[in-house]
Amino acid sequence: MGFRFEFDPANKILITRIDGELTDRIIKQVDTGMRKRLVQKKPTVHIVECSSVTKFSMSAESVRKLARQKPALEGNSCRRFFVMPSNVGFGIARMFQIAGEPHYDATRILRSLEEVFSTLGLERPQFEPLK
């Protein structure tokens, strides 16, 4: 299991890339790192990219607990996207969205990163790794 953060400074996009098995323990680590980088970079777009997640082993309670937390960046200053190609991932993202209302009700759940870039009107964002 791994996760990493990348940033496109020209378009102010933060992307959180997750791969492997996603467990309750890992999602807490991802959330902590994500919040830190959201506050540091203040992106206008945040993408949680789960195309490389091989198994979703998170409990429903963990998803609801994360969703009930206030966003690191409040309001409409940051557009949020989940990339969930699998049906299981899509369902988990939808559960997060519903449990997180009204904070996350505007979050878009799409099947590919290309769909996100098309929605944003971008062709080739240039991401740099963050530590």
Tokens of 105: 């009700």
pTM over 0.85: yes
pLDDT of residue 37: 97
| pLDDT by 10s per residue, the chain, length 131 | 699 999 999 999 999 999 999 999 999 999 999 999 999 999 999 999 999 999 999 999 999 999 999 999 877 789 999 999 999 999 999 999 999 999 898 899 999 999 999 999 998 899 999 98
Write out the residue range of the structural domain in which residue 115 sits: 2-130
- Residue 121 C-alpha from the chain's centroid: 19
Our count of domains for the chain comes to: 1
CA torsion angle 49 53 57 61 (round to 10): 10
CATH of residue 67: 3.30.750.24
